[in-house]
Amino acid sequence: MIYVIIFLIFAGIGLNVLSQKYALQNIGYKRELSKTTVEAGEEFEITTVVENAKRLPVTFLQVNEKFPAELEYSRRANIVAVTGSLYHKTTMFLMPCQRVKRTYNVALTRRGRYVFQDVQLVAGDLLGLGVVNQEVQYWQEIVVYPKTVDLDNEIVPYGDYMGNISVRRWIIDDPILTVGVSEYTGREPQKYINWPVSLRSGKLYVNKFDHTTDNTIMIILNMECQKPFWSGIETEKVEKCISIARTLMEQFEAEAIPYGFMCNIQGFQYVNGKTQIDPGCGSAHFYAILEELGRADYSVSTDFEKVLDEAIMRENSANTYIIITPRILDVYGQYMNSLNRAANKTMVIALDTNFLPNIDEAIAVFTERGEKHE
């Protein structure tokens, strides 16, 4: 009897050693993201699949996934927050040839490019006396688009010379060619009423305009906040500038107005080595720029006056230029004036105008509501 007990003890020890040695053998891990680009706060799904492809059970398996700290779970989950990161832990028991699939609804609250990479598998032996670890390199990324802003509530004219005029109306409400008439609904400005047609028909009709015949827009986004450009970034102002650029692009898409893009964002992906994205319209054009804005970090590639100088050299790229900047530094003034002389219309949205340099009065300047206006 004693020999049987000794045999069972040694057999158990041997099985335990083997179970620990081969605990992670033929264990597969897979992760799927339901989306690769999302809006801030938009829910998407993370699906993990863990498979035991061998004929032995795994009595204890823990999956530790490292995620960005900005990730939020819609339901309760076993998560541990560490500075800059979030660790999601899942524990399971796997039978031979079993696959476990779990799906979680999550969201990212801030604009940016997020990389999901580090995964650790921890398996235990039959007796729970020891564990083995395995690092899995599983690289994935997701891009969060910038938020939109209400321009008419957050951006106002600098000074009193423009009166109560909205950003959108200043840019878009400038008809170029009358292409027909339509029945007056009461929402159109009365100045657009076509009186000869209205008198003949007995009903009110308004002119229909083509806003896009000659109107092309170049958005020029500045990330520089002070000199030298690498010395410091005001992230809140830069984020708002990026959001303003996104909002303007949406309005131009709605009006079918071609728009291009220039910036001094480090690593911004231009096509075919160009220093700008030429004016265009359509979802492919819009989302290509929008994704790059989502990926943008706070690294500045060059002085903003060099970007303005490039725009001046390409003066035929557009006839309306919209400059979006955290503030207008003194050195920008001469370049803005030169660009304005080459363009039909120039507009500057500057969130801080406390140090407004000497720029042409013809340049419309808008600033953040609440800033000092003189």
Tens digit of each residue's pLDDT (9 = 90 or more) over 204-214: 887 765 544 46
User: To which H or E segment does residue 367 belong?
Assistant: strand 364-368
Q: Are 207 and 189 in contact (CB under 8 A)?
A: no
pLDDT of residue 118: 85
pLDDT band with cut points at 50, 70 and 90 for residue 170: low
Query: 88-97, 280-289, 293-302, 354-363: which range is least confident on average?
Result: 354-363
Q: Are 148 and 243 in contact (CB under 8 A)?
A: yes
Instruction: Give Dmax over CA atoms of the chain in angstroms.
Output: 116
Give 230's pLDDT tier (boundaries 50, 70, 90). Answer: confident
pTM of the complete model beyond 0.75:
yes
Residue with the larger pLDDT of the pair 310 and 364: 310
> What DSSP element (H or E) covers 236?
helix 235-255
Among 8-17, 22-31, 115-124, 158-167, the range of highest mean pLDDT: 115-124
What does the mean pLDDT of the chain come to?
Answer: 82
Alpha-carbon torsion angle 315, 320, 324, 327, nearest 10: 70
Q: Is the pLDDT of residue 157 over 80?
A: no
Ramachandran assignment for 282, one of left (phi > 0), alpha (psi -120 to 50 degrees), beta (any other): left
Boundaries of CATH 2.60.40.10 in the chain?
25-144
pLDDT at 78 over 70: yes
CA distance 65 to 325: 39
- Is the pLDDT at 177 greater than 60? The verdict is no
Instruction: Tell whether the model's pLDDT for residue 164 goes beyond 60.
Output: no
**What's the residue count for the chain?**
374
Q: Which of 8-17, 70-79, 317-326, 360-369 has the lowest mean pLDDT?
A: 8-17
Confidence band for 237, pLDDT divided at 50, 70 and 90: very high
Task: Assign 160 a pLDDT band (cuts: 50, 70, 90).
Answer: very low
For residue 180, the tally of other CB atoms under 10 A from its CB is: 10
- Output the six-digit token pair for 55: 């004929």
Which pLDDT score, from 0 to 100, does residue 212 have? Answer: 45
> What is the structure's pLDDT at 250?
94
CA distance 342 to 328: 20
pLDDT given at position 273: 66
CATH T-level fold of 25-144: Immunoglobulin-like (2.60.40)
Give residue for tokens 């951006």.
155
Delimit the CATH 3.40.50 region(s) of the chain: 151-176+211-368
pLDDT at 35: 95
Average pLDDT over residues 336-346: 86
- 303-319 pLDDT, tens per residue? 999 999 999 988 777 88
Q: What is the 3-state secondary structure (H, E, C) of 146-188?
A: CCCCCHHHHEEECCCCCCCCCHHHHHHCCCCEEEEEEECCCCC
Q: Which of 2-6, 60-64, 98-102, 319-323 has the lowest mean pLDDT?
A: 2-6
Q: Which DSSP state fits 193?
A: B
Domain 151-176+211-368 belongs to what topology?
Rossmann fold (3.40.50)
Instruction: Supply the Cα-derived Rg of the chain in whole angstroms.
Output: 30
What percent of the chain stands above pLDDT 70? 79
pLDDT at site 163: 46
Mean pLDDT of 54-60: 82
Position with higher pLDDT, 187 vs 291: 291
Pairing of strands 71-73, 98-108: antiparallel
Region 323-337 average pLDDT: 92
